[in-house]
Amino acid sequence: MKTGYMIDMDGVIYRENHLIDGAIDFVEALAASGTPFLFVTNNSAPTPEDLAVRLKHLGMPYLSPRHFYTSALNTADFLSETHPACTVFVIGEGGLLTALHEHRIANDGIHPSYVVVGEGGATTEKLAKAHECVERGARLLATNPDNWCPVSSDKTRPGAGALAAFLEASTGRRAYYLGKPNGYMFHQARRKLLEAARGALDQFVMIGDTMETDIRGAIEAGMQAFLVLSGSTQLQNVGDYVYQPTRILESVADIVEEIRTGKPSDRLDSPVFGNGNGPREKRHGNRFRTDHPSWDKPRPRPAMTK
Ligand SMILES: [Mg+2]
């Protein structure tokens, strides 16, 4: 049975600027065994080239841009497939701007079809401009639903979800969120893996550390979902979710032997989990915009003066 792997990055391969133990062996085993794999990330700020360089500095020199699929690429794929002649006003960084440019999607600060919100790049002026564009009829699209993103073990930064929330509040319009767990992200990642394997894949596995994005999206897309405990999720919180991972691993180190030999490892689903070390404490507030049950109450309109 030939398997294609989608792999989240932060909390799975590295944390901050340190590789997680076993990550190099894991990726080398994938490469050596000819197993198709794709890094799938919600971070829309870097380009695939940036990510390849980052992992090169961390000790993985053999990765190329084709090994990465970001929510910025997903957004560009989505717009070029569903609305090829559209124009956009963008709040975001290089990865998003480059992806849209490569798909020949034009920037438009006057009457764009969409306001696209990604990671970073926001100023008060840009948010005000985006607000005006939505008021004039532009649709609101966010590259990913993350309200915040980890920077270090005790520090986070605002994510694309928080910027989209600003515009949702100011315009009264609901944003559409691409990236994980949106099924379009998994659909396109699966398509890329199939292309790389020339169609010869029997099953797909998503490996991630976040229940709300990696595991939820994979389950909803009908894929295997492996949760690693090397990132943001603690074992004692897994039972809180309706959707459950198909396997729980301490880290990607647990499946290196399985990938090398093709035989399941006896370290899978180990009962030694739950010793409480490693993962971050749960942070207050919903991490993802898609978790808000009812944000779309109509905004009271001001009395219009003409
Ligand atoms: Mg992660």
Question: pTM, whole model, 2 decimals?
Answer: 0.89
pLDDT of residue 276: 44
pLDDT, one tens digit per residue, over 103-137 is 999 999 999 999 999 999 999 999 999 999 999 99
Length of the chain: 306
Q: Calculate the average pLDDT of the chain.
A: 90
Same fold, 3-42+181-261 and 72-179: yes
pLDDT tens for 170-216 read 999 999 999 999 999 999 999 999 999 888 899 999 999 999 999 99
Q: How far is the CA of 243 from the centre of ligand 1 (A)?
A: 17
**Average pLDDT for residues 282-298, to the nearest whole number?**
66
The structural domains of the chain, with segments of one domain joined by +, span 3-42+181-261, 72-179
Dihedral Cα 16, 17, 20, 26, nearest 10 deg: 120
Q: Give the per-residue pLDDT at 272.
A: 46
Confirm if 147 and 165 have CB atoms less than 8 A apart: yes
Mean pLDDT of all residues in 257-262:
90
At 290 the pLDDT is: 73
Residues 85-110, mean pLDDT to the nearest whole number: 97
Angle at 40 between CA 216 and CA 120, to 5 degrees: 100
Q: Side chain identity at 179, as an amino acid letter?
A: G
Structure tokens at 68: 């990465």
Q: Which residues are catalytic?
A: 8, 10
CA-based nearest residue to 229, from 266, 265, 272, 264: 272
- Specify the CATH superfamily of domain 72-179: HAD superfamily/HAD-like (3.40.50.1000)
- C-alpha span between 252 and 255 (Å, rounded): 6
Contact 167, 143 (CB under 8 A): no
Residue 284 burial class via C-beta count within 10 angstroms: exposed 0-12, middle 13-18, buried 19 and up:
exposed
**What is the CA(24)–ligand 1 centre distance, in A?**
17
DSSP type of residue 52: H
Q: How confident is the model at residue 87 (pLDDT cuts 50, 70, 90)?
A: very high
Is residue 44 within 8 Å of residue 92, measured between CB atoms? yes
Measured in Å, residue 9 CA sits from the centre of ligand 1 at 6
Residue 297 has pLDDT above 90, yes or no: no
When comparing pLDDT for 149 and 226, which is higher?
Answer: 226
* CA distances (Å), origin 196, targets 93, 193, 217: 28, 5, 22
What CA–CA distance (Å, rounded) separates 117 from 132? 14
Query: In the prediction, which pLDDT does 287 show?
Result: 81
Q: Is the pLDDT of residue 277 over 50?
A: no
Selected from 3.40.50.12160, 3.30.420.130, 3.40.50.1000, 3.40.50.300, the CATH number assigned to the domain covering 3-42+181-261 reads 3.40.50.1000
Tell me the CA–centroid distance for residue 42 and ligand 1, in Å.
9
Comparing CA positions, the residue from 129, 137, 243 lying closest to residue 181 is 243
Per-residue confidence (pLDDT) for residue 53, from 0 to 100: 97
Residues 1-38 have pLDDT tens digits of 899 999 999 999 999 889 999 999 999 999 999 999 99
